[in-house]
Structure 1
Amino acid sequence: MTSLNRWTAIWLVLLGAASYGVLSTLVKLGYQNGFTPGEIIGSQNFFGFIALWLICLPQLRKMKGITLGTVLKLLFSGVFTGLTGYFYYLSLQVLDASFAVLLLFQFTWMGMLLGWLLDKKAPNRFQWLAMVLVLIGTLLSSGVLSGSWEGVNLGGVALGLLAAVCYTLFICFSGRVATHFPPLVRSTWVVTGAMMIVFILMPPQFLWNGSLDKGLWYWACLMSVFGMIVPSYFLAKGAPFIETGLASVLGAVELPVVIVCSALLLQESQGTLQWLGVVIILLGVFVSEKKIGRSPAKTSVIKGKTAL
């Protein structure tokens, strides 16, 4: 692979991950325009479902060996990403976008502990250090030390942590199911599963209650573009051509993008301690990808990156 192509892949992954960072701000703006969580979550999944199937269909026709069992596993994997979005978007009703995403990023250490439990392989020293850094960064960014914790909705915190748990489970299962399929095909089936669980939890009343005519279609289009279409396509195109560790580190750009967008568009104030915490969390993500000894580089997709 040429240097130019590698840099193109890096930019695609970077832009795909940054696209996720815009999403929580769009959700908050949708709430401010009077739409309910059911309308926001359901319409995003529905519009994204249609768009991804249109993009994926030509590729799907060329594939052989897609069994019903594999499809069901991918749909089941999508249940966890659907639940991630469900809990995360509910938390955004009562929490600042900049704080909600910090709770979501707890999947970093949750995933390491889950991997230890399932694979019987203890985290290495870099991963232990990464867990500590992520927790310290979260503590600083949460506002506890600056005295701004008072008034924070504890129910929202619980929802944010539930989103992190579901995201951790999604990463775990998605990394073990149909990994030989093209990433875009896998993402499309996963999004289908996500839409199904969302529609079960929140029936799609937006399809007949008139909210689409009142402007919901605009927010649904924006959220499906930034939360499903752009990241799914860009990450599927770029991530297979760069190292796993680099892809994960680039994916962490989502966090500062959320902070910047929430400050610019939602006027959420960020102090020095909050920014310091964000930097420490990003450092933790970087450290978690460090390897002990020398191991051959391998390419991979960013596991778990699909629509929220």
Structure 2
Amino acid sequence: MRRGRLSPVGYVFVLVAATLWGLLGSFSKLAFQEGITPLEVAFWRAAIGSVLFGAHALVLRQARVAPRDLPAVLGFGVLGISVFYAAYQLAVQTGGAALAAVLLYTAPALVALLAWLLLRERMTPGKLGALALTLLGVAAISLQGGEVRLSAAALLWGLLSAFTYALYYIFGKLYLSRYATATVFLYALPVGALGLFPLVEFHGKSLLAWAAVVFIALLATYGANLAYYAGLRRLEATRAAVVATFEPVVAAAVAFAWWGERFGPLGYAGSALVLLGLLILTLEGRGKRP
């Protein structure tokens, strides 16, 4: 291992990424408050992000994708961008920023389950324990008595966002070793924006609404991804994944301070179980090559 592999700077980059991702839900709520629908927020996130990543890829000459990989990259644009971005925004609208972030982090458990069912990967005791903790955590959140309530719609959109986010793990395992992140998003983001465009009803926007949308695209999407992968170059993947679990903590804290979102005691316990399950799954893969 290279000496710089565990540089403290790597932790700073990943913490910056997790913080920016954690702010995504609260800034989305600000956009909703200013009259923008969840699907329009998702569209502008993809559209503005495509310009930013496109410029990045072109400047660094990272635009080439092998023809045989284009169908997979474009398909990722539909599921990983159109569906994921829309589902996450709808999860924030129906359940709040904190709940959407916690449900999103059930994704690694879904990855383990799908890999066992579809790819015949071994289901270890650690994975089973993590799955059980995740299910218990979601159940606890649904039964809590706080101001944040897990409605059927919030659960549906939250788990759909987690499922489509889980595709990032699988797609990344197959393709991000071949291409830079900017290369993939150069193609995937415009496809994602086009997939959302027919569903969006556009409205006039205030300066505050545009500020919220630009923050989401520029910092919580483009900036967060750049920071995360800069950190990943300096840290082991396992360490980076554990540090990234700071995201739902930030989301819950900001949602509490800004929007008054409060879990009941059972909700906070359930959130802790989801994060504990994520930690177990992350450590389960320690030392294994992706």
TM-score by length of 2: 0.87
Offset of 1:182 from its aligned partner?
1.9
CA distance in 2, matches of 1:201, 1:175: 31
> In the alignment, which residue of structure 1 is the partner of 2:125?
125
Amino acid at match of 1:156: A
CA distance in 1, matches of 2:279, 2:208: 40
> In the alignment, which residue of structure 1 is the partner of 2:78?
79
Paired residue secondary structure (2:263): coil
The 5 A counterparts of 1:206-285 are 206=202, 211-212=204-205, 215-285=208-278
> In the alignment, which residue of structure 1 is the partner of 2:196?
198
> In the alignment, which residue of structure 1 is the partner of 2:110?
110
CA distance in 2, matches of 1:90, 1:156: 8
Give yes or no for contact 1:80–1:170 (8 Å, CA) kept in 2: no
Give yes or no for contact 2:4–2:234 (8 Å, CA) kept in 1: no
Amino acid at match of 1:26: F
Write the deviation string for residues 229-278 of structure 1: whole angstroms up to 9, x where unpaired.
11111122221332222222122211111101100111112343333332
> In the alignment, which residue of structure 2 is the partner of 1:305?
none
Aligned-residue sequence identity (percent) comes to 20
Offset of 1:20 from its aligned partner?
0.8
Amino acid at match of 1:171: Y
Q: Find the partner of 1:189 among 183, 187, 190.
A: 187
The 5 A counterparts of 1:1-308 are 1-3=2-4, 6-60=7-61, 66-82=65-81, 83-140=83-140, 142-144=141-143, 146-148=144-146, 152-177=150-175, 179-202=177-200, 206=202, 211-212=204-205, 215-291=208-284, 296=287
**Distance change >3 Å, CA 148–CA 220, structure 1 → 2:** closer
CA RMSD of aligned residues (A): 2.6
Offset of 1:281 from its aligned partner?
2.1
Paired residue secondary structure (2:283): coil
CA distance in 1, matches of 2:54, 2:263: 39
CA distance in 1, matches of 2:269, 2:153: 26
Write the deviation string for residues 84-141 of structure 1: whole angstroms up to 9, x where unpaired.
111121222221222222222221211101111232122211111111122222233x
Amino acid at match of 2:271: V
CA distance in 2, matches of 1:10, 1:43: 30
Amino acid at match of 2:17: G
**Distance change >3 Å, CA 57–CA 160, structure 1 → 2:** same
Offset of 1:57 from its aligned partner?
1.6
Give yes or no for contact 1:22–1:226 (8 Å, CA) kept in 2: no
CA distance in 2, matches of 1:263, 1:149: 11
Give yes or no for contact 1:137–1:280 (8 Å, CA) kept in 2: yes
Offset of 1:3 from its aligned partner?
4.8
Give yes or no for contact 2:50–2:185 (8 Å, CA) kept in 1: no
Give yes or no for contact 1:98–1:258 (8 Å, CA) kept in 2: yes
Amino acid at match of 1:104: L
Number of aligned residues: 288
**Distance change >3 Å, CA 269–CA 232, structure 1 → 2:** same
Paired residue secondary structure (2:7): helix
Paired residue secondary structure (2:61): helix
CA distance in 2, matches of 1:5, 1:151: 40
Offset of 1:297 from its aligned partner?
6.2
Give yes or no for contact 1:136–1:280 (8 Å, CA) kept in 2: yes
Write the deviation string for residues 196-248 of structure 1: whole angstroms up to 9, x where unpaired.
3222443xx54xx5x24654321221111232111111122221332222222
Give yes or no for contact 1:23–1:226 (8 Å, CA) kept in 2: no
TM-score by length of 1: 0.83
Q: Which runs of 5+ in 2 are unaligned?
A: none
